[in-house]
Structure formats: structure tokens, C-alpha cells
Amino acid sequence: MSESEPPLYLHVSDPPYENYFYADATVSCQAVLASPLIRTDSDAPAQHRLLFAWPAGNSGAALFFTSSDSKDDAPVLKFKVGPRGRVLDSVKYEPDENSRSGLPSVGVSGLLEVSSSAVLRANLAILGSIRTIRDYTEGHGTLNHHVQTSIAIAELDETEKGVSISRVWFDGKTTTRLTIAPASGAGKARITNINSDIIAEFSPGLYSFQALLDYPQTPYMPPTRLLKPSYHYLIQEQPDAVRSLSFLCTSEKILAGAWRYLTYFGRDSMISLLLLNPILDEGELGIIEAGLSAVLERVNGEDGSVCHEENLGDYPAACAALNPNKTPEAQYDYKMVDTDFFLPIVLNQYLMESEVAQRRIGDFLRTQATLIPSNRGKTYSQLLSRTCRKILDMAEPFTRPGGNAMYKNLIALKEGVPVGQWRDSNDGLGGGRYPYDVNTALMPAALRAISNLARTTPVEKDDDWGEIADKRAEVWETLTLDFFNCKIPQNEARSRLDKYRGSGAFPGPSGADQIHEDLLLQAIALKEDGTPVEIMHTDACFRLLLLPHLIHSSNPACITQHLQTIDALCNSILLTFPAGLSTPVGILIANPAFSLDSSHWQKFTTGAYHGTVVWTWNSLAMIAKGLEVHLSTAYRAEKAGYDAVTVKSADPDVYNKVTSKMKRAYGKLWDTIEANKAHLSHEVWSWRWDEKEGFVYVPLSHLPTPDGAGQTESNARQLWSLPALLALERRRWLEE
């Protein structure tokens, strides 16, 4: 990027976390201050955290302070606005004779106000990888002994009279360094050593800080390069969302979220491209091809698996220090079962919707991979071909003649792995092994995409791929839903709601009076024995968005199934929890109220990461986009002068009834989106029940997990939440 590009600066307040983002041609860095942190142990002293995170190497530094002379709920640390009118500025030092890396040290500087004495112990300074910091914050205080013993705390020289906290990485080259020094003589810092416990103490006053890292940087992508010219107006209309997206996008990869996921996640990148595609710039220097390149670079060149997450920087070596069987080199995680399918889907979408892509696809696929040593020399075409072949092979057993369309031939989570798709917490599928989204939507959508790619691109392939992919797709589109469909009689559904409320799982109305007919519930997954997990959910959004052509299928059964799926999803939007998924604070991603397994009531809670909570991209953005696609089709058909749509063999009354329900669901969904606009850039949020106010918004981090443990901190900015602010628009004419 150009040196003349103005710096990117953003402040996001998400109490107790104050997030500041800074990026320019030299460095990208996020600073997060929480004073005090939320406490899970009321007997422990309050902690005050100062954290810095760099996308470069997924690197970070965190200092955890305590105070001996402040009230536990009183703030001790506070950023101050500097002379340039912002909290952060960039800083750069060229390498000197003491440099191990030979690279510049880059980072951010600013002012920190200490309102009462702050104490930092060496064992609560964590420098190196964001993953190492997360092991502490999310792993009940887990510290890596090898990391902590390499922390160096020292006094600065007599001129600065401050404190330096530094650590040389396991590579022996890279150094992370923080300095905190009194500003203009205000404040005092000193170091003491009590029984080998090194302590840095800071008296009340104003301090200057610097956070530095000498690791190769990848510049962020400025908004003017990120967006198509026709969408540059968003830079003024949605400045925070555009800056957030810009911070998370680089020419090498797209980052999943700040601060906890400042690295590549395949699923997050591709779902975001899927939703943001209309507004993103195209071509060789555009973010769409950068994102797709990042995915293809990380494909397993042997079996075609698409990488879920990368593990790079200091963390692989930190893990190897604890386990000699591990390698210090960058690692790539392929355990998810859904990520493979997104690659052909997203690439095909880019190809179908972009004339630039159609002109460039040959050059793009001829690009040679450079990232993973074993892939070097292989073209993107070869890597894509391996992924497509893998998907075709996985699809084949279920489509064999002779009664092989059985649940055991569906796509299951990998043996011994409790997660495999986006609901990737251990209880996210309620003990299920065969996910709904993977089998009913992602597999057939990927097969349709492969068919088109085989016919329209120079991807390396067998001659009959197009025909084979289409035939297998039709089987998966038609025969998978029946395994997940659960029909619950009206009286039984009401009884289950009363039992759910009676258990104490929800203190509000049972919602039984909202059930006026038998209920079709599509299970979130199947158990090992094929039994449906009767959790209401939002994952039909994948089927709506990725398989809209089913409404025009020549197979009447396929049309009927598709209308039933739309109808069930719309019902869940129109009915208030626990009868459905709707609340004033958002559409919930899961509802266990109809499950006969009472353990689900305890696991799918308001404090569970994939429980009765709201996720922007899934339960709001993707559903809205899927409904928009279907309603637009109906609208165009009506305007063309024929009855609804020419849906072959479909019952017109049923179609019109479902279309009417879609309009009402679309309107209610958008009312909900607009009412919760302040939260849309967050990954996930939750609620509590109030007898007077009903459903009340609560950050997920403020609620206990189902096991009573401390809550995982959410990202202040999450990649796949941003499409709701940037790429969605309410189209009121679709509601008429």
C-alpha cells in the first residue's frame, strides 16, 4: 500500500473492553484495555489487562496488573488521547547491532494513565503468540512454563526511568518488547525482586508506552482498494464497519476476528466472501482473489482437504517446547468436515457474478502455490482439482443404486473429533455426528458448483465431472432432508414447551399458545445411530441461499421438500422463543425446548457459545439474504405476468401460502436487524429475561457458561458479522 495512505484508526467500546485499532503502511496493531476485567472468582483480586495484538504472526502481548489500593470495581488504567487526537500512533525503529532478526521493530505508542498503584508480576506478562495469551484467558489460567521463563523485565536507563518487558521468541530471532515510562516526570516505575518473584510497580501518574515487534508485516488493504468503486460511498456511510473490514483484510489472507482470531480461518473467510461478494473489488489485486488464493495455498495437496485454521508465528514452537513430538514449523488444521465444500461454492459464485473473474479465471488457476513447501510448484488448478475430486468421492457412496441412500453414508464428523462445522463447541450439535448443514446444503451446493466449474473453467478434471456432479447433487438434494425431518403433533409440541418451562430452563411464557398446528422441526444433526437431535436451529439458511434453484426443480418431491424447509424456517422466525427462535434482541441460532433429552436444556443456554444466542452472520445476515433471493424470484415472476412462478408440479396454493409467510418473516427479521444495529458487528450476543421488560440484551461475556466456568471473551470485530452492515439492504417491496 502507498505510504501516503492515511492511517486507519478506530475505537470500539465493548465494556469492559476498550478496543483501539491502528494501521498504516508500517504496522497493523490492536490495543485492548480492560480495567477491571470481569471476575469469575469473587475472592480473587481484580485484574486490569493491557493487551496488544498484531496480525503479523498472530502475535500478541498481554500484561495483567493488580492494585493494592483501589476498590475492586474501580478502573486503574486508562488510555489518554495523544497530541494527534488519537490514543495510538505508529512507531518504527530500524534494526541496530543488537537486532537478532535484522528487521525493523514496529508497533504502536501512546499514553496510559494509572489512577492508583498498579503491580505487574513477571509471571502475568505473556508475550509471543495470541494463542498463548488465549491459553491463559480461555484455559483457566494455563501458562506455558517455557514462555514465562523467557520473559525479561528490566528497568530502562536513567533518562527514561521506566520498565521494559520483553521476550525473544523460540525462533531465536523475533523479539516482542513493551516499554512503560513516566511521561513528563509524572508517575514512577520501579522493579523489585522478592524471593525470585520479579515485580514491576507503577505509582499513580501518566506514562508513555510502546509495544514493538520485529516480525515481517503484511499491510492491511485500504478501503479504496477493498471495495468496488461503486461502493466507495460506504466509506462515509459506514466508516466503522469499513475500517473494521479493512483492518482484517490483507493481500495475503483475510483475518477472522480481532483480537482473538487475527489469522486465517477458512470457513470464516469463505462465508464472508459469499456474503460480501457484491461489494468487494475484483481482479488480481482485489480482496476476493486474495481470499481465494489464501484458501488454495493452504489446501492439503495430497488429499484435497481445505484448511480450517493455521497455526503460525511463535505458537507452534511454544507447543513443541512442551511436546517434543510436535514441530515448531507452521501448522495447518484440517479437522473440519464443512470447509472443503465452501471452496468450489465461493469460487463458482465469483465466476458466475463477475465478468472480471470470467476473463481472469485461466490466469488465476495457473498461479503456482508458494506457501506450504509440499505444495510449491503445484498450480491452483491442481489443488482445486484435488478438492473437487475429494468431494465427488465423498458424495458417491450415498448415491449408489441399491438402497445406499442411508444415514451411514452421509457425511459425519471425523472419528474422535467432537466438532466439524461452524457450531464448533463440543456441545454445539447436541451430541450429533451427522450435521444438517453439511449434508442437506453444503454437499449438494458444492456438487452443483463443481459441475459448473468443470464445464466453464480450465480446472484439471475428468471429462465427465460435470455430468457426474449434477447427478450426485440431485440425489443429495432430494434424499437427505427426510433423515432430519421430525414431525411433532400439535399437542405434543405444546406439552414439550410446558415441560421446558417447568424445568426452570426459561422463566418466561412457555409459548405453547403459539402452536396452532403440527410442527415440522428439522434436526440440527443425527446421532451416531441415526437418531435426530431435535434442536430447532437456523441452518436452513444454507439451503435457502445456496440451493435457490430447487424451487424450479423438475422433481415435484424436491420442490415440496424445499417449500417445507422454507415454511419451517419462517415459522421459527415468526414464533417467539421458546415456541420459535425469535426474540426482540435477535433470532436465536438454537432452541432446545422441543428436545426430549433434558440434558440439552442445560447445555443450550444463554451462556453457551452455540446455545440460545444470536450470531449476526447466520441467524440474521444469511437468513435475510436467502429470503431475499427467493422473494426476488417470486416478485420478478409476478411482474412478468404469470401466476407466482412457473413451479412445475407444485401446488399453487401451497406455494402462495409459503411465499406470503416468507414476506412476513422477511419483514420481522429486518425489524429485528434494525432494532439491534448497535450489536451487528459483534460475533455473538445473548440476553436475559426480565419480568417487566422481557428479553434484554446482554453481552455473552457477562454470562456464565453451562458448566459455570468463566465466559470466553468475544471479538470486538468479527469478519463474518460485517456483511450485515455493509452488504445487506432491506427491500421493502419484497414485503408487499
The full 3-state SS of 106-170, as one line of letters, equals EEEEEEEEECCCEEEEEEEEEEEEHHHHHHHHHCCCCCCHHHHCCEEEEECCCCCCCEEEEEECC
Q: Give the mean model confidence (pLDDT) for residues 41-62.
A: 91
Give the integer Cα–Cα distance in Å for 356 and 346. 15
User: Which of 486, 485, 621 has the alpha carbon at shortest distance from 541?
Assistant: 621
Residue 654: in which H helix or E strand, if any? Answer: helix 652-675
**Residue 644 has what pLDDT?**
47
Q: Give the mean model confidence (pLDDT) for residues 730-736.
A: 92
The pLDDT confidence band at residue 707, using thresholds 50, 70 and 90, is confident
Q: Give the mean model confidence (pLDDT) for residues 85-96.
A: 96
Distance of CA 631 to the CA centre of its chain: 28
Residues 500 and 578: beta-carbon distance below 8 Å: yes
| Residue 519 pLDDT exceeds 90 | yes
| Range scoring the smallest mean pLDDT among 81-85, 367-371, 480-484, 525-529 | 81-85
Residues 366 and 279: beta-carbon distance below 8 Å: no
For the chain, domain boundaries: 8-213, 484-735
Using CB atoms within 10 Å of the CB of residue 615, give its burial: 0 to 12 exposed, 13 to 18 middle, 19+ buried. buried
Q: What is the DSSP letter of 101?
A: S
User: Which of 659, 652, 650, 601 has the alpha carbon at shortest distance from 627?
Assistant: 659
- What count of other Cβ atoms lies within 10 Å of the Cβ of residue 98? 6
The pLDDT confidence band at residue 662, using thresholds 50, 70 and 90, is very high
| Residue 496 pLDDT exceeds 90 | yes
Q: Amino acid letter at 133?
A: I
Name the phi and psi angles at 537, rounded to 5. -155, 180
Residues 250 and 55: beta-carbon distance below 8 Å: yes
Q: What is the DSSP letter of 616?
A: I
| Residue 284 pLDDT exceeds 70 | yes
Give the integer Cα–Cα distance in Å for 532 and 722. 33
| CA–CA distances in Å: residue 278 to residues 267, 350, 503 | 19, 9, 46
Using only the alpha carbons of the chain, give its radius of gyration: 27
**Residue 557 has what pLDDT?**
85
Q: Give the mean model confidence (pLDDT) for residues 391-415.
A: 97
| Helix-then-strand count for the chain, H and E | 22, 32
User: Over pLDDT 90: what percentage of the chain?
Assistant: 82
Give the integer Cα–Cα distance in Å for 317 and 328. 4
**Residue 640 has what pLDDT?**
61
Most confident of 42-56, 636-650, 720-734: 720-734
Q: Give the mean model confidence (pLDDT) for residues 398-402.
A: 95
Give the integer Cα–Cα distance in Å for 355 and 364. 14
List, as one string, the DSSP characters of 360-415. Answer: HHHHHHHPBP-SSGGGTT-BHHHHHHHHHHHHHHHHHHHH-TTT--SGGGS--PPT
Give the integer Cα–Cα distance in Å for 253 and 202. 40
Name the phi and psi angles at 577, rounded to 5. -55, 140
**Residue 711 has what pLDDT?**
72
Q: Give the mean model confidence (pLDDT) for residues 450-456.
A: 95
User: Which of 341, 356, 358, 340 has the alpha carbon at shortest distance from 287?
Assistant: 356
User: Which of 18, 83, 72 has the alpha carbon at shortest distance from 43?
Assistant: 72
| Range scoring the smallest mean pLDDT among 363-377, 635-649, 713-727 | 635-649
At residue 478, the 3 state secondary structure works out as helix
User: Which of 436, 445, 444 has the alpha carbon at shortest distance from 483?
Assistant: 436
Q: Give the mean model confidence (pLDDT) for residues 325-330.
A: 87
| Residue 177 pLDDT exceeds 80 | yes
| Residue 529 pLDDT exceeds 60 | yes
At residue 86, the 3 state secondary structure works out as coil
Residue 624: in which H helix or E strand, if any? Answer: helix 623-639
Angle formed at CA 568 by CA 566 and CA 574, multiple of 5 degrees: 100
186 versus 245: the higher-pLDDT residue is 245
- Condensed to tens digits (0 to 9), the pLDDT of residues 133-155 reads 999 998 888 999 999 999 999 99
Provide CB contacts within 8 A for 500, sequence distance 6+.
506, 510, 578, 592, 593, 594, 601
Average pLDDT, whole number, for the chain?
93
Provide CB contacts within 8 A for 315, sequence distance 6+.
58, 128, 129, 130, 131, 132
Residues 310 and 332: beta-carbon distance below 8 Å: yes
**Which three cell numbers, joined as nine digits, stand for 550?**
430447487
| CA–CA distances in Å: residue 476 to residues 340, 343, 395 | 16, 18, 8
Total number of residues shown for the chain: 736
User: Over pLDDT 70: what percentage of the chain?
Assistant: 96
Provide CB contacts within 8 A for 394, sequence distance 6+.
411, 443
- Condensed to tens digits (0 to 9), the pLDDT of residues 689-703 reads 999 999 999 999 889
Q: Where are the alpha helices (DSSP H) in 257-338?
A: 266-276, 287-297, 315-322
Residue with cell 422433481: 555
User: Which of 167, 258, 261 has the alpha carbon at shortest distance from 215?
Assistant: 167
Using CB atoms within 10 Å of the CB of residue 540, give its burial: 0 to 12 exposed, 13 to 18 middle, 19+ buried. buried
**Residue 419 has what pLDDT?**
98
Give the integer Cα–Cα distance in Å for 179 and 182. 10
Distance of CA 272 to the CA centre of its chain: 9
**Residue 111 has what pLDDT?**
97
Residue 258: in which H helix or E strand, if any? Answer: strand 255-258
| Residue 373 pLDDT exceeds 70 | yes
Q: What is the pTM of this model?
A: 0.95
Q: Are strands 525-526 and 532-533 parallel, antiparallel or unpaired?
A: antiparallel
**Which three cell numbers, joined as nine digits, stand for 653?**
396454493
- Condensed to tens digits (0 to 9), the pLDDT of residues 584-631 reads 999 999 999 999 999 999 999 999 999 999 999 999 999 999 999 999
Using CB atoms within 10 Å of the CB of residue 640, give its burial: 0 to 12 exposed, 13 to 18 middle, 19+ buried. exposed
